[in-house]
Amino acid sequence: QVQLQESGPGLVKPSQTLSLTCTVSPGSITTRYYALSWIRQSPGKGVEWMGLISYDGDTYYSPSLKSRTSISRDTSKNQFFLQLSSVTPEDTAVYYCARDPSGLGYANDYWGQGTQVTVSS
Protein backbone atom coordinates (compact mmCIF):
# COMPACT_ATOMS: atom_id res chain seq x y z
CA GLN A 1 0.00 0.00 0.00
CA VAL A 2 1.55 3.23 -1.20
CA GLN A 3 0.77 6.45 0.57
CA LEU A 4 0.86 9.91 -0.97
CA GLN A 5 0.36 12.97 1.15
CA GLU A 6 -0.03 16.58 0.06
CA SER A 7 1.14 19.42 2.24
CA GLY A 8 1.40 23.16 1.98
CA PRO A 9 -0.45 26.37 2.78
CA GLY A 10 -4.20 26.28 2.46
CA LEU A 11 -4.51 29.97 1.70
CA VAL A 12 -2.64 31.88 -1.01
CA LYS A 13 -3.01 35.50 -1.96
CA PRO A 14 -3.78 36.54 -5.54
CA SER A 15 -0.72 37.05 -7.74
CA GLN A 16 1.43 34.89 -5.47
CA THR A 17 2.76 31.40 -6.13
CA LEU A 18 0.94 28.33 -4.89
CA SER A 19 3.44 25.76 -3.62
CA LEU A 20 2.60 22.22 -2.58
CA THR A 21 4.59 19.14 -1.62
CA CYS A 22 3.68 15.50 -2.17
CA THR A 23 5.48 12.93 -0.05
CA VAL A 24 5.45 9.35 -1.32
CA SER A 25 6.07 6.30 0.86
CA PRO A 26 7.31 3.64 0.84
CA GLY A 27 9.54 3.15 -2.15
CA SER A 28 11.40 5.43 -4.50
CA ILE A 29 9.88 8.03 -6.79
CA THR A 30 12.59 7.14 -9.31
CA THR A 31 11.16 3.64 -9.80
CA ARG A 32 10.60 2.81 -13.47
CA TYR A 33 8.28 3.87 -14.93
CA TYR A 34 6.27 5.78 -12.40
CA ALA A 35 4.59 9.03 -13.38
CA LEU A 36 3.63 11.36 -10.57
CA SER A 37 0.85 13.82 -11.31
CA TRP A 38 -0.77 16.87 -9.87
CA ILE A 39 -4.52 17.05 -10.39
CA ARG A 40 -7.03 19.55 -9.09
CA GLN A 41 -10.78 19.65 -8.68
CA SER A 42 -13.10 22.59 -8.23
CA PRO A 43 -16.89 22.91 -8.19
CA GLY A 44 -16.93 25.14 -11.24
CA LYS A 45 -14.40 23.41 -13.48
CA GLY A 46 -14.39 19.81 -12.33
CA VAL A 47 -11.30 17.62 -12.48
CA GLU A 48 -8.24 19.00 -14.24
CA TRP A 49 -4.92 17.26 -14.80
CA MET A 50 -2.15 19.78 -14.32
CA GLY A 51 1.04 17.95 -15.11
CA LEU A 52 3.41 15.16 -14.16
CA ILE A 53 6.99 14.30 -13.50
CA SER A 54 8.35 10.98 -14.72
CA TYR A 55 10.67 8.56 -12.99
CA ASP A 56 13.64 10.13 -14.75
CA GLY A 57 12.63 13.71 -14.01
CA ASP A 58 11.00 14.68 -17.30
CA THR A 59 8.01 16.95 -16.89
CA TYR A 60 4.82 17.36 -18.89
CA TYR A 61 2.13 19.96 -18.41
CA SER A 62 -1.41 20.69 -19.40
CA PRO A 63 -1.24 23.18 -22.27
CA SER A 64 -3.66 25.48 -20.50
CA LEU A 65 -1.46 25.69 -17.42
CA LYS A 66 2.04 25.20 -18.78
CA SER A 67 3.00 28.85 -18.63
CA ARG A 68 2.29 29.00 -14.90
CA THR A 69 3.14 25.49 -13.70
CA SER A 70 6.38 23.96 -12.53
CA ILE A 71 6.82 20.45 -11.15
CA SER A 72 10.06 19.37 -9.52
CA ARG A 73 11.30 16.74 -7.10
CA ASP A 74 13.70 15.83 -4.33
CA THR A 75 14.59 12.19 -4.80
CA SER A 76 16.40 11.92 -1.47
CA LYS A 77 13.16 12.74 0.34
CA ASN A 78 10.77 10.97 -2.04
CA GLN A 79 8.98 14.24 -2.57
CA PHE A 80 7.73 16.08 -5.59
CA PHE A 81 6.48 19.60 -5.74
CA LEU A 82 3.97 21.84 -7.48
CA GLN A 83 4.37 25.54 -8.10
CA LEU A 84 1.57 27.48 -9.73
CA SER A 85 2.42 31.12 -10.25
CA SER A 86 0.27 34.23 -10.61
CA VAL A 87 -2.72 32.63 -8.97
CA THR A 88 -6.23 34.05 -9.05
CA PRO A 89 -9.41 33.03 -7.22
CA GLU A 90 -10.14 30.74 -10.18
CA ASP A 91 -7.27 28.56 -8.96
CA THR A 92 -9.15 27.76 -5.76
CA ALA A 93 -9.52 23.98 -5.73
CA VAL A 94 -8.72 20.74 -4.00
CA TYR A 95 -5.26 19.69 -5.15
CA TYR A 96 -4.27 16.03 -5.40
CA CYS A 97 -1.08 14.18 -6.12
CA ALA A 98 -1.27 10.73 -7.68
CA ARG A 99 0.87 7.89 -9.03
CA ASP A 100 0.62 6.05 -12.33
CA PRO A 101 2.87 2.97 -12.44
CA SER A 102 2.51 2.73 -16.23
CA GLY A 103 4.24 6.04 -16.77
CA LEU A 104 1.42 7.43 -18.91
CA GLY A 105 -0.37 9.50 -16.29
CA TYR A 106 -3.81 8.17 -17.21
CA ALA A 107 -4.13 5.23 -14.80
CA ASN A 108 -3.37 6.46 -11.32
CA ASP A 109 -3.62 3.72 -8.73
CA TYR A 110 -2.76 5.70 -5.61
CA TRP A 111 -3.89 9.18 -4.69
CA GLY A 112 -3.28 11.57 -1.88
CA GLN A 113 -6.21 12.64 0.23
CA GLY A 114 -6.26 16.06 -1.40
CA THR A 115 -5.65 19.44 0.11
CA GLN A 116 -7.89 22.48 -0.17
CA VAL A 117 -6.17 25.60 -1.45
CA THR A 118 -8.06 28.87 -1.44
CA VAL A 119 -6.85 31.91 -3.32
CA SER A 120 -8.10 34.99 -1.54
CA SER A 121 -6.89 38.27 -0.18
**44 half-sphere exposure, CB direction, 13 A CA radius:** 5
| Predicted confidence pLDDT, tens digits, the chain (121 residues) | 899 999 999 999 999 999 999 999 998 999 999 999 999 999 988 999 999 999 999 999 999 999 999 999 999 999 999 999 999 999 999 999 999 988 888 899 999 999 999 999 9
Instruction: Dump strand ranges (E) for the chain.
Output: 3-7, 11-12, 18-25, 35-42, 46-54, 59-61, 69-74, 79-84, 93-100, 110-111, 115-119
Look at residues 11, 17, 42, 13 and name the one whose alpha carbon lies nearest to residue 118: 11
Q: Alpha-carbon distance 39 to 111, whole Å? A: 10
